[in-house]
Chains A and B, each alone.
Chain A
Amino acid sequence: MSSAAELTSQEYIKHHLTNLTADAQGLCSMDSGSVNPCDGFWTLHLDTLGWSVFLGFVFLYIFRSVAKKATTGVPGKLQCAVEMIVEFVADSVKSTFHGTNPLIAPLALTVFVWVLLMNAMDWVPVDFLPWIISIVGGVEMSQVYMKPVPTTDPNMTFALALGVFILTIYYSIKVKGVGGFIKELTTQPFGHWTLYPVNFILEMVTLLARPLSLALRLFGNLYAGELIFLLIATIGLFQLPVHFLWAVFHLLIIPLQAFIFMMLTIVYLSLAHEDH
């Protein structure tokens, strides 16, 4: 908003879409011709990491404090809220996953609440956190890089999808054995042995499309939402009603994307457990 006076809209949006990045040499500078441009693999998005870990701790702190004091009698209001979420996740798992794996339900709960909290960072006005940092740190807002929605960072969504993918492969092999897994990849959909290579290519595409779509769906939705928030922030005073409408729309987007991510996690792991 205020920085829009110094930057063009394009620069403003680009500025807001840049992560706070650091590597072994220290913080990276985004200015052209800087000494530490950070374009290697071994760099970290500090804002993504920091916010996601912070939100993960928020989730675990709230749920753990409820779990410690969980009473079987009349529950308190916080316990009721937590139990509602837990039961919702447990029901979703029960209706989709028919095995007895004790990992699936906690995994689904973690994915759902964590992604929900990270998505919810979208509601924080785009300039609010940079503004606070500029006041506390005494720096210009144009020098503050802060992207507080971790799910708008593909590193975050791919990390989640990769975790789910690794579990899928692990349980596929554990349940069906290496032979069974290979058989599943090669003998479908065509039954004749000459077509096994074709089957393998098709099945590999299916297999790899799952984590890819899982990661890109969440990233795409949240990134687009964030981008629209940034565009709205550039239009001056009229942004207030428009921002409000877009934030209201995110009442739908944010839980929906978290729910979709959780459901697909359960579905993929359920498929991994199915022995044909």
Chain B
Amino acid sequence: MNINATLIGQLIAFVVFVIFCMKFVWPPIMAAIEARQATIADGLAASDRAAKDLELAQAKATEQLKDAKSQAATIIEAAKKREMQIVEEAAGKAEAEKAKILASGHAEIETERNQAREELRQQVAVLAVAGAEKILERSIDAAAHSDILDKLVAEL
């Protein structure tokens, strides 16, 4: 073992290798590693975000479902109320209509009855005159006895 010019040769080789490594080996490998690390970090962050989004969406969906249910219940409640109201209204209207129809019927009947009575009265007067004629078997001067006849008609 002796120190000689080999040392100088080795030193030069060492320097050249280190410079080559520094210029052409280390930077691209490190760049590739770092780029991949960044990609992986991004992917992990994205998956985290997606998981959080999913959680949020699920919570939102649950919330919306609950809202929809309560809304549906409200609508059904309102509909029921409205139904009752309509039925009541209809019943009231029908009642009123019935009363109106009844009233008009009564009025008509009354009118017809009065008319009939009037007619009857007239006819009774004629019949009474005819009867009286038959009874007296003579003609009666209608004009002379009109006061009696009128009296009779008023009495009937």
Q: Which of B13, B25, B26 contacts A52 (CB 8 A)?
A: B13
Q: Are B7 and A87 in contact (CB under 8 A)?
A: no
Q: Known: A64-B25, A106-B21, A159-B14. Is A71-B9 also a contact (CB below 8 A)? A: no
A43-B4, A162-B11 known; A67 vs B17 contact (CB < 8 Å): no
Would you give the shortest CB distance from B41 to chain A, in whole angstroms?
13
Which residues of the other chain, A, contact B36 by a CB distance below 8 angstroms?
72-73, 75
Do A72 and B32 touch (CB < 8 A)? yes
Bound CA span A150–B9, Å: 13
Would you call A198 an interface residue if the criterion is a C-beta within 8 Å of the partner chain's C-beta atoms? Answer: no
A43 to B22, CA, bound (A): 30
Decide if A103 is an interface residue (CB 8 Å cutoff): yes
Q: Is residue A60 within 8 Å, beta carbon to beta carbon, of the partner chain?
A: yes
* Interface assignment of A267: CB less than 8 Å from any CB of chain B: no
Question: Could you tell me if B5 and A56 are in contact, using CB atoms closer than 8 angstroms?
Answer: no
User: Among the listed stretches A107-115, A171-179, A184-192, A202-210, which one makes contact with chain B, having 4 or more residues with CB under 8 Å of it?
Assistant: A107-115
Q: Which of B7, B27, B30 is A90 in contact with, Cβ under 8 Å?
A: B30
SS class of chain B's interface: helix, strand, loop or mixed? helix
Q: How far is the CB of A185 from the nearest CB of chain B, in Å?
A: 24
Q: Does B6 contact A (CB under 8 A)?
A: yes
Please name the residue on chain A nearest to B5 by beta carbon. A42
CB A138 to nearest CB in B, in angstroms, measures 27
Contact A67 B24 (CB under 8 A): yes
A44, B6: Cβ atoms closer than 8 Å: yes
The answer to whether A53 and B5 touch across the interface, beta carbons within 8 angstroms, is no
Identity of the chain B residue whose Cβ is nearest the Cβ of A160 in the assembled complex:
B14
Number of interface residues of A (CB under 8 A): 49
Asked whether B10 lies within 8 Å of A66 as measured between CB atoms, the reply is no
Which residues does chain B contribute within 8 Å of A90, judged by CB atoms?
30
Q: Are B3 and A155 in contact (CB under 8 A)?
A: yes
B1 contacts which chain A residues (CB < 8 A)? 153-154, 223
CB neighbours of A137 from chain B (8 A): none
Smallest CB separation, A108 vs chain B (Å): 10
Contacts of B30 in A (CB 8 A): 86, 90, 105
- B15 vs chain A, min Cβ distance (A): 7
Give complex CA distance A150, B1 in Å.
Answer: 12
B116 interface residue per 8 A CB criterion: no
Q: Is B29 an interface residue (CB 8 A)?
A: yes
26 intermolecular pairs with C-beta atoms under 8 Å apart:
A41-B3, A41-B5, A43-B5, A44-B5, A45-B6, A49-B10, A52-B10, A60-B20, A60-B25, A63-B29, A67-B27, A67-B29, A70-B32, A72-B36, A86-B29, A86-B33, A103-B18, A106-B25, A110-B17, A110-B18, A150-B10, A155-B6, A158-B7, A159-B11, A163-B14, A163-B18
